[in-house]
Structure 1
Amino acid sequence: MTDTPTKPVPRGHEVIQSYLRTLDASPGVYRMLDEKGAVLYVGKARNLKARVSSYARPTGHTPRIARMIRDTASMMFLTTRTEVEALLLEQNLIKQLKPRYNVLARDDKSFPNILVSKEHAFPQIKKHRGAKKEKGAYYGPFASAGAVNRTLNQLQKVFLLRNCSDATFESRTRPCLLYQIKRCSAPCVGYISEADYAGLVSDAERFLQGRTTKVQETLAAEMQAASDAMEFERAAALRDRLKALTYVQGSQAVNPAGVTEADVVALHMEGGQACVQVFFIRANQNWGNRDYYPRTGSGAEAAEVMQAFVTQFYDQKDPPRLVLLSDEIEDADLVSEALSEKAGRKVRIEVPQRGEKKDLIAGALRNARESLARKMSETATQSKLLAGLAEAFDLDAPPSRIEVYDNSHIQGAHAVGAMIVAGPEGFVKSQYRKFNIKGEDLTPGDDFGMMKEVLTRRFKRLLKEDPDRQSDAWPDLLLIDGGAGQVSAVHEIMVELGVEDVPMVGVAKGIDRDLGKEEFHRFKERPFVLKRGDPVLYFIQRMRDEAHRFAIGAHRAKRSKAVGATPLDDVPGVGATRKRALLAHFGSAKAVARADLSDLKAVEGISDTIAETIYDFFHEK
């Protein structure tokens, strides 16, 4: 009996041609898939039939598009009501599926804001990240936590607003150190009236809105009045605040007079790589910048890279009224319409050719060029280190994804497992994961048991989500903090899960637990060491230290949460606001638990129904 040869799966422009008779002129999104069903490319079209027919031609394509067409074995289509809907759907699918030939903006972190809280008679000024649920005025976005912290530091010097929590505020009996160093007006102990503090808040908000001239005029007038009245101590304090405000204005890196609110987006491409710099201009001030390194979809042109970056960047972020770009994009009107729809107001997109806006773009482009040069230099160094790692550990090829595992606990309490990821571009922080240790049968401090639980959960999930190992989520190398015992314990788990082919190395402290004398353990092989001064050894130490830092941070966060927990956290219907009201009224959770029903009903913000729920919760127990 002879085997019948399998027929090759048809691919290329002929396959694409076969779909044309089923398509019409509707707007929509198309997906191009390879012979295994993996998505190669996601695109949007104003007219699906016209767009797909352009791929059906055998010639006239760029090398990138020709490769994509050659790999295409099938297609999928979704029609939409409008082209704007198609654009939004396209970018959502790109972020979800990460196709090889699409441009992908890989950093999707939220940006911090400054919040002037309005839930208290003496508002607090603080950093805020995430959903804007708290009542107050939000100012931002800022490019980084560092940019927010610098601005908050300046605001404290000039406007003397408190940054302590409400609980700390209520418990103070004397002013804190910030008052002593002239960075707070001490409203907690009554050193300033509610009306005067409200004036400081108003001045701070005017500053954050860019209306600094009015603030300066007011401070100068108050200083002169105090001097005329021979209130020299008050005049000196106002002089210090005025001096601090002048310094703040002079220290701003960019103060564009003609641009009140804009994001400045500049793209530099070189050697198949791209860097996008985004500067945030708010209230005529530079509120920081951040660089991004989008994946260029195997060689996309600048217009496509820029358009994909802009649409993906604002998917989860509020766009400003003006977006300044260094490069033209294909569908500027369409993107502007999509951003306007998202923001609920007009959003303009411009590619400036002259004047102050052009200067802003030039500055951002210079930063993008310098950042990409640094990145490419670091990548070249990283490639050498990965090659050296492959040689040291007898790997088939330099690893693209290294996972490093560590645990952190104190005598078994608040145990946390941590995984960090490194690869050709260094540490991939978006891929870091923490694992709250759940095993109730573990002996406190059982590091072997903790590591086994972490690896079991990690690889069970991988096997469930990607059993065929099609994605880049599978590691090429595991580094475990520990020696032969840890390696044996992990190997046992990997055998049970059927993933024995993932290389694994244990990193032990070695003789005298001395840095530089690390021993490396592989299953059923003799331990070995690397020479002192070997760059690969330093690389491994950096990865292990990063895993240790991340594990300790996760452990401290878990411990802090446990320390701040109270029995009120478990009461149905009692959230953060009611919890604060109850603690402010009774002083402690224990006093709440002992309180009579009538006393609970007397608390502001606690309804009769909630009071009964709280009373029943503690007294039924």
Structure 2
Amino acid sequence: MSDGGNIQLTGYEVIHGYLKTLDGSPGVYRMLDSESRVLYVGKARNLRARVSNYSRPGSHSPRIARMIDNTASMMFLTTKTETEALLLEQNLIKQLKPKFNVLLRDDKSFPNILVTRDHDYPQIKKHRGAKKEKGAYYGPFASAGAVNRTLNQLQRVFLLRDCTNAQFESRTRPCLQFQIKRCSAPCVGKISAEEYRQTVDDAQKFLSGKSTGIQTRLAAEMAAASEEMEFERAAALRDRIKALTQVQTTQGINPKGVTEADIIGLHMSDGQACVQVFFIRSGQNWGNHDYYPRIGDDVEAAEVLEAFIGQFYDQRDPPPQLILSHEIENPDLMADALATKINRKVELLVPQRGEKAELVDGALRNARESLARKMAESATQTKLLKGLTDAFDLPRVPDRIEVYDNSHIQGAFAVGAMVVAGQEGMLKSQYRNFNIRGDDLTPGDDFGMMKEVLTRRFKRLIKEDPERKEGHWPDLLLIDGGAGQVSAVRDIMREYGVEDIPMIGVAKGEDRDAGKEEFHRTGRPVMALRHNDPVLYFIQRMRDEAHRFAIGTHRAKRAKSVGATPLDDVPGVGAARKRSLLAHFGSAKAVARANLQDLKAVEGVSGALAETIYAYFHEKG
């Protein structure tokens, strides 16, 4: 390969040249192409032996042979142990995303249930992210849906509050949760502190898999209430027992011999893979999730599963057991690496019979069915993208389509939304929203809002990926609007030198009917598609998804502002003092009109703070 007249060697010769500088240390190696892009990251017990293996032609799979042919240089990092090399390898793979490695593309965190400890009447709620709040955490659950279902069931059984501490303190009468028998209303004294603590203890026992005694005790309490003719209490206890029975029934497979484990099943077909993970915690099934790692044509199951496990648990704590569908290449090394990470033993099992093998069979069945659905959807998506390319004479089939929309009410709570579609359908992890900041915009100025959104988007792309190598640049823009919107966006693209990106404006026809959309492009006549054209339906779905996302973001922004008052901006006025002021004066408007002496009379408001509040509202005039 030549560069400016100089010959740059690649392949076996280059790799062989590194042997004289390497010893038998463990470590991590990187293979780079002629433009210094990382092709592959690997670990080795003995770096010299591993590199020597790459330097000999003839014994490699087609994928590895292609990788060697493209290798122009290598980089090495030695480690003290092979375990350290494995951990470093997985970190680098996730960071660098090399072309020839198996890569886990989904890196989302999983939700937990949190029972708080910072209040006399603990709250139960969904929690995602770092575990910084004081309390007991139970999880992970496979999805927000799995957590929400469990929380709803727990509230029916144990009647724990889910309101915030601020909401709790401000209640003067029971909320709707009490009316529909989802909360015991400790906020207004409907339950004693001792009774509430008992229900919290019961909920935590249930989440820890110790629910048998709870049902027995509730049944005894129900019988006692009936004997004492406390029929309302007896009926409430009956409802709780019924709800607890229903929870245990609807959880599905609750294995008897597996308490804390992840069940991991891998299915591969036609160069694609699906990994299905079931979360078993406290002897209960807390849901499952599927993953589609990027793999090559000739990768073995052992390599795929080992790479998945290494990357999956890079930022997550593994349970004591991983129950696998296939052996991996280095099970002892992986177990040691995971144990080192969390400072306790982790066991990797590949069961052949019994309950564990049945659990693996279930994971494999789910993986097989999920991959079949995804491959069918992918084939349809590929066909639609090809149809879109032909219909609009695009230079190539787009890998990334960005669709933009705005939402507002007469200019208020304005937001812009971007959704992304590609070869794998709608890419929800890539969606973005934009709070419209333009102070000089006329309320309802859709052109101005779209200009602001696209300006911010292209500024960020140019800053973060000026060479367009990271895959974040769109191959096609879809704009909700007609000729005016297209012209406004084209001005922005011209300003930032990105006019080579195709752009289409999608506008309703004259009678505003879906199905009669008109498509606007710069320098081209307005066009339409056949009413029953699959490409038209595809564009409508993308536009509707952008609209749905924009509306959802707008509503969330509007809802957040409903409880807002001018007091929120006064320095030194937090939630507690805000409540005191509103309770004393009745409204934020009355606080703004109050004289200094009245402000000083409010409980919890010091003389200095009263002067700050008074100055805030009276210096503006």
Instruction: Kindly provide the CA deviation profile for residues 121-161 of structure 1, in whole angstroms up to 9, marking residues without a partner as x.
Output: 22221111122222221111111111111111111221122
Deviation at 1:43, TM superposition (A): 1.4
SS of 1:295 mapped into structure 2? coil
**Alignment match, 1:68:** 67
Answer yes or no: is the 8 Å Cα contact 2:161–2:185 preserved in 1.
yes
Instruction: Kindly provide the CA deviation profile for residues 477-510 of structure 1, in whole angstroms up to 9, marking residues without a partner as x.
Output: 1111111111111112212222221111111112
616 and 338 in structure 1: CA distance in 2 versus 1, 3 angstrom threshold = farther
Answer yes or no: is the 8 Å Cα contact 1:113–1:138 preserved in 2.
yes
The residue identity in structure 2 corresponding to 1:305 is V
**Alignment match, 2:100:** 101
The residue identity in structure 2 corresponding to 1:70 is D
**Alignment match, 2:23:** 24
196 and 328 in structure 1: CA distance in 2 versus 1, 3 angstrom threshold = same
**Alignment match, 1:607:** none
1:127 correspondence with 2:126: yes
* TM-score (ref. length: structure 2): 0.92
613 and 332 in structure 1: CA distance in 2 versus 1, 3 angstrom threshold = farther
SS of 1:241 mapped into structure 2? helix
Answer yes or no: is the 8 Å Cα contact 2:219–2:241 preserved in 1.
yes
Instruction: Kindly provide the CA deviation profile for residues 178-202 of structure 1, in whole angstroms up to 9, marking residues without a partner as x.
Output: 3233222222221211111111111
Deviation at 1:8, TM superposition (A): 4.1
The residue identity in structure 2 corresponding to 1:74 is S
CA distance in 2, matches of 1:367, 1:135: 37
Answer yes or no: is the 8 Å Cα contact 1:385–1:539 preserved in 2.
yes
Answer yes or no: is the 8 Å Cα contact 1:40–1:99 preserved in 2.
yes
Answer yes or no: is the 8 Å Cα contact 1:25–1:49 preserved in 2.
yes
CA distance in 2, matches of 1:472, 1:75: 24
CA distance in 2, matches of 1:569, 1:142: 36
CA distance in 2, matches of 1:306, 1:276: 8
CA distance in 1, matches of 2:188, 2:608: 35
**Alignment match, 2:619:** none
**Alignment match, 2:195:** 196
Answer yes or no: is the 8 Å Cα contact 1:404–1:478 preserved in 2.
yes
CA distance in 1, matches of 2:450, 2:399: 23
Unmatched segments (≥5 aa) in structure 2: 617-621
Answer yes or no: is the 8 Å Cα contact 2:156–2:182 preserved in 1.
yes
The residue identity in structure 2 corresponding to 1:332 is P
1:337 correspondence with 2:341: no
Please, which moves more after superposition, 435-444 or 534-543? 435-444
**Alignment match, 1:403:** 402
Answer yes or no: is the 8 Å Cα contact 1:323–1:348 preserved in 2.
yes
Counterparts of residues 422-571 of structure 1 (less than 5 Å): 422-565=421-564
169 and 38 in structure 1: CA distance in 2 versus 1, 3 angstrom threshold = same
Unmatched segments (≥5 aa) in structure 1: 604-610
**Alignment match, 1:375:** 374
618 and 59 in structure 1: CA distance in 2 versus 1, 3 angstrom threshold = farther
CA distance in 1, matches of 2:21, 2:294: 33
Answer yes or no: is the 8 Å Cα contact 1:227–1:235 preserved in 2.
yes
298 and 471 in structure 1: CA distance in 2 versus 1, 3 angstrom threshold = farther
Answer yes or no: is the 8 Å Cα contact 2:577–2:604 preserved in 1.
no
Answer yes or no: is the 8 Å Cα contact 1:386–1:399 preserved in 2.
yes
Answer yes or no: is the 8 Å Cα contact 1:279–1:288 preserved in 2.
yes
Deviation at 1:203, TM superposition (A): 0.8
440 and 26 in structure 1: CA distance in 2 versus 1, 3 angstrom threshold = farther
CA distance in 2, matches of 1:35, 1:298: 23
Instruction: Kindly provide the CA deviation profile for residues 223-268 of structure 1, in whole angstroms up to 9, marking residues without a partner as x.
Output: 2222333333322322221122112112221110111111111110
566 and 233 in structure 1: CA distance in 2 versus 1, 3 angstrom threshold = closer
Deviation at 1:405, TM superposition (A): 1.2
Deviation at 1:584, TM superposition (A): 5.2
Deviation at 1:359, TM superposition (A): 1.0
CA distance in 2, matches of 1:196, 1:614: 40
RMSD: 2.7
Please, which moves more after superposition, 403-412 or 562-571? 562-571
CA distance in 2, matches of 1:37, 1:230: 81
Please, which moves more after superposition, 227-236 or 189-198? 227-236
172 and 529 in structure 1: CA distance in 2 versus 1, 3 angstrom threshold = same
Answer yes or no: is the 8 Å Cα contact 1:302–1:327 preserved in 2.
yes
Deviation at 1:308, TM superposition (A): 1.3
1:389 correspondence with 2:372: no
369 and 189 in structure 1: CA distance in 2 versus 1, 3 angstrom threshold = same
CA distance in 1, matches of 2:542, 2:597: 53
Counterparts of residues 280-295 of structure 1 (less than 5 Å): 280-295=279-294
CA distance in 2, matches of 1:171, 1:195: 22
Deviation at 1:298, TM superposition (A): 4.9
Answer yes or no: is the 8 Å Cα contact 1:156–1:183 preserved in 2.
yes
Percent of aligned pairs with the same residue?
A: 69
SS of 1:511 mapped into structure 2? coil
CA distance in 2, matches of 1:549, 1:94: 35
Deviation at 1:38, TM superposition (A): 1.6
Please, which moves more after superposition, 102-111 or 83-92? 83-92
